[in-house]
Chain A
Amino acid sequence: MEALVAVMIAVLVGTGVYLVLRARTFPVILGITLLSYGVNLFVFISGRLAVNQPAIVGNGPASDPLPQALVLTAIVIGFAMTAFLVVLALRGQGETGTDHVDGKRDDGGEG
């Protein structure tokens, strides 16, 4: 199972990085979303992988509850940031008339 999770994270981060390097704001936003999915999973498994275990400390084995709390915080923050970035990208489109990340028009002129 470890290998499967590792590959999953690698694919998410890999696609995320590829998309972040695109020149249009929309792929960049998608890339950042995928990147944060991968990173959230990574934080989540830092408490080790365990199956069928309760998340609270009790009698017997329990999975580590802290990474779950951390990842919840990270998800909330990531969600808010993505929403902000979408609004910013829309405003960039409105102000510069193009969705290029540098605000450049397709003909090479400044937006």
Chain B
Amino acid sequence: MEHLIIAPILIPAFAGMLLLLEVREHQPLRRFTGMLSVLALVPVALALYQQAAGGEIQVYRLGDWAAPFGIVLVLDKLSALMVLLCTALAVPALLYACRADDKRGANFHALFQFQLMGINGAFLTGDLFNLFVFFEVLLIASYGLVLHGRGPARVRAGIHYVVLNLIGSALFLVALGLVYGTTGTLNMADFAVKVNQLDGGALELARIGGLLMWVVFGLKAALFPLYFWLPAAYANATAGVAALFAIMTKVGVYSVARVYGLAFADGALAGLGRDALWVMALLTLVLAAIGVLGARRLGEVVAYMVVMSVGTLMAGLAWATPESFGAMLYYLIHTTLVSGGLFLLADLVARGRGKLGDQLVAGPAPAGRAGLGVLFFIGAVAVIGLPPLSGFMGKVALLQTVPAPLYWLFLLGGGLLALVGMSRAGSTLFWRATGDGAERRVDRPRLAATLLLLAAAPLLAIWAEPVLRATVAVAAQWAQPELYIDAVLGGGV
């Protein structure tokens, strides 16, 4: 089982390449290959999670080069959890896209697989430059996916998204240059050790390198002031793609958590940029809440809810105690699945209303109004954080572990604004209907995919205790970077 750790990268990579070879426009075969790949990822991710849950940190040396000279993949509880979450999101997202959306442009399935490969790679790698490479893999696939389906709105949002991320990549390279120039290593564990041996000018340069990394990860995570690209890009993306993108911001959050936990939790640069992350997180919360109020489409409302969740998460991370980190991970699981489900639901509503789409103006009621309305209610209650669903559990856990009055104010105030925004959206769409819309029925498989994701809300609430216990265990391991460093460097050098 030693080689299993690389499977989450290899399976989508092979599937993606196979899909590129299938040159004939034979959609069923493509769908089959794509679904086979994501379904194969499910047992793999579960097995990896099981392996990691034992507490041992598994290191996989690519090409059998000893760390820090070769590139390593590292499986600890945090990466295993993130891979599992990504898989759980990918299955319904692809299922939804397979109904028709994948036909609106070439190579949708190949791009989807490469996207998964990049995301899983970013979660598993133990090398900073390798992280950059996997970022690029997931970004270039996401460029294709954002534009999938054509249309001026998508191209406009796409240009902003691509240019901003290219500049982000350039900054990441500068950060890596500084890291390598000062410590002579790019291995995360080795960097964590070496950064403490620096002093004088070299330490200042390493500090700049670390802060630049926060900027880059903040751009990926859509943290204030770098979130402006997100609402347009997500709201205009095809539904299945937008649902998968719910985890993209979490890649940024994960990267901050990983690098911070290893290198900056303690030692020469202890608490690097923590205060800045804290302030930015709180500002993100407020501005996203205002965005929810001002949004003109349901897709935008959900996109701003994603930004808001990033603020919530980043604040929990910047508080940087194992307890707050555990609570934040619970909230992360909840928000990823539920906002993915809401993106799918927004598309179902848009389809049911015909020309008006998901714009928040009174018009004909969407087909299947009663069922969709109930689903929207469940999703809204969960994402705002009202009892009794998962969002409430997550927020209570966060409020308990982050006893800062300012955070309470912003989180609860933001929740209130979100409540107003979501109620406005729901009542406009479902209650102020001017008549019945098209007589079409809601597509069953699409509804099933949406249900799969939104089911996370009640399930996570029912099993809140075991899930929280698991995330707190992840956090406990995260708070002991020496375990990770020993596993990577111990015996190797």
Which A residues have a C-beta under 8 Å from some C-beta of B?
Answer: 20, 25, 28, 32, 35-36, 39-40, 42-43, 45-48, 66-67, 70, 73-74, 77-78, 80-81, 84-85, 88-89, 91-92, 95-96, 101-103, 111
Contacts and interface: CB of A to CB of B under 8 A. Distances in A.
B63 interface: no
A103 B152 contact: yes
Interface in B260-311: none
A32 B164 CA distance: 10
A43 B176 CA distance: 7
Contacts of A85: 162-163, 166
Contact of B173 (A43, A45, A92, A111): A43
Contacts of A47: 180-181
B140 A95 contact: no
Contact of A74 (B147, B167, B173): B173
**8 nearest interchain CB pairs?**
A46-B181, A46-B177, A103-B156, A43-B177, A95-B152, A39-B170, A92-B155, A39-B173
A46 B152 contact: no
Interface string B89-109: 000000000000000000000
A80 B140 contact: yes
A77 B136 contact: yes
A35 B170 CA distance: 7
A95 B160 contact: no
Nearest to A69: B129
Contacts of B54: none
Interface of B: 129, 133, 136, 140, 143, 147, 150-152, 155-156, 158-160, 162-163, 166-167, 169-170, 173-174, 176-178, 180-181
Nearest to B156: A103
Given A32-B166, A42-B174, A73-B133, A101 B160 contact: yes
A95 B163 contact: no
A88 to B, nearest CB: 6
A20 B155 CA distance: 18
Nearest to B158: A88
A20 B152 contact: no
B140 A81 contact: yes
A76 to B, nearest CB: 10
B61 to A, nearest CB: 17
A35 B173 CA distance: 11
A58 to B, nearest CB: 17
A84 to B, nearest CB: 6
A103 B155 contact: yes
Nearest to B135: A77
A32 to B, nearest CB: 5
A35 B166 CA distance: 10
Contact of A101 (B147, B151, B159, B178): B159
Given A42-B177, A77-B136, A111-B152, A92 B159 contact: yes
Contacts of A84: 140, 143, 162
A28 B166 CA distance: 11
B46 to A, nearest CB: 33
B339 to A, nearest CB: 26
Nearest to B136: A77
16 contacts: A20-B163, A32-B163, A32-B166, A40-B173, A42-B173, A43-B174, A46-B177, A47-B181, A73-B129, A73-B133, A84-B143, A88-B162, A95-B155, A96-B156, A102-B156, A103-B152
The residue among B129, B140, B156 with the most chain A CB atoms within 10 A of its own CB is: B156
A89 B159 contact: yes
Given A39-B174, A81-B169, A70 B136 contact: no
Contacts of A95: 150-152, 155
Q: Which of A42, A73, A74 has the most CB of B within 10 A?
A: A74
A26 B150 CA distance: 21
A73 B173 CA distance: 11
A111 B156 CA distance: 10
Contacts of B160: 101
Given A43-B174, A103-B155, 15 more contacts: A20-B163, A35-B167, A36-B166, A39-B170, A40-B173, A45-B177, A67-B180, A70-B129, A73-B133, A84-B143, A85-B163, A91-B155, A92-B156, A96-B152, A111-B156
